[in-house]
Amino acid sequence: MEIIYSSRKLADKLSRLRSQGLIGFVPTMGALHQGHISLVEHAASENDTVVVSIFVNPTQFNDKKDLERYPRNLKADINMLENTGCHIVFAPSAEEVYPEPDTRIFDFGRMDKVMEGLFRPGHFNGVAQVVSRLFDLVRPDRAYFGLKDFQQLSIIRKMVQQLQLSVEIVPCPIVREPSGLAMSSRNELLTKDERENAALIYKMISHAVDWKCERSVDELEQSIAAGINQNPFLETEYVEIVDEDTLEKVTDWQHPGRKVLCVAVWCGKVRLIDNFLIG
């Protein structure tokens, strides 16, 4: 496994490897956990070369304190990637990713203005900037993203379509802790008590499939929010059932598309997101 910090060195290395087979790419912001490792292993099973980037992207944080608080430990991340099938770790500086300020503004219609986009304005434009920039640097055949960040995955698919990029976007299942809590780098910021109580999030959203038989869409959303909010450690920011493809809010169960329940919950000072496919 090789550690590369320079975009020029990365390009030179990949130009030699590209003729030998497919390149799989896993973009991350570090603070790696088993969820990330599952993406790398998935990529390794389908490609000849696997590149993992570790870069905390400043343009997707609308809260400077959140950017400063985001966990960073490059040495631990590199150690985790040993024996996973990763061939190259790309750990660039901001100057390598953005040699010039990225002033691009993407138009995703309403997709980036609901849920996460509503509460984190500008976030998805920053995501589109960094992912498209990393795609330019790596030029992968396939890129792997976790379904925990469901809205982000939808936005990236839309961006690939708009920019007509020749990369296959591969969604990968949510990896959960034994308690059911979705694995996230932000979990490392939780205290022991907060982490234990955050497990309630998944317990509540997993009731959705059974409860939809006896509740309307609005009633189901309200029931789940109330169940989470009864825990003094937790406070919901939103609970929304949306169309899997358009992210538009679903108003009744007769909606023809597949429906996804999405939540954002504050646990102390840590903001957690999760989702559950309810058919």
Q: List Cβ<8 Å contacts ≥24 apart for 81-86.
A: 81/1, 81/32, 81/37, 81/40, 81/52, 82/1, 84/37, 84/40, 84/41, 84/44, 85/40, 85/41, 85/43, 85/44, 85/45, 85/50, 86/1, 86/26, 86/40, 86/44, 86/50, 86/51, 86/52
Predicted TM-score (pTM) of this structure: 0.94
∠ CA 94-185-126, rounded to 5°:
40
Q: Specify the CATH superfamily of domain 185-277.
A: Pantoate-beta-alanine ligase, C-terminal domain (3.30.1300.10)
Partners of 204 in beta bridges: none
The yes-or-no verdict on residue 264 having pLDDT over 90 is: yes
Comparing CA positions, the residue from 179, 260, 257, 170 lying closest to residue 221 is 260
Domain ranges of the chain: 2-172, 185-277
pLDDT of residue 69: 83
pLDDT tens sequence across 81-118: 999 999 999 999 999 999 999 999 999 999 999 999 99
Which residues are marked as active site?
Answer: 36
The mean per-residue pLDDT over the stretch 109-135 comes to 96
Q: How far apart are CA 47 and CA 87, in angstroms?
A: 11
Tokens of 31: 């603070």
Give the tens place of pLDDT for each residue, 155-209: 999 999 999 999 999 999 999 999 999 999 999 999 999 999 999 999 999 999 8
Q: Which CATH superfamily is domain 2-172 in?
A: HUPs (3.40.50.620)
Equal CATH topology for 2-172 and 185-277 = no
Distance separating alpha carbons of residues 189 and 68, to the nearest angstrom = 12
When pLDDT is averaged across residues 47-62 and rounded to a whole number, the result is: 95
Position 70 scores a pLDDT of 87
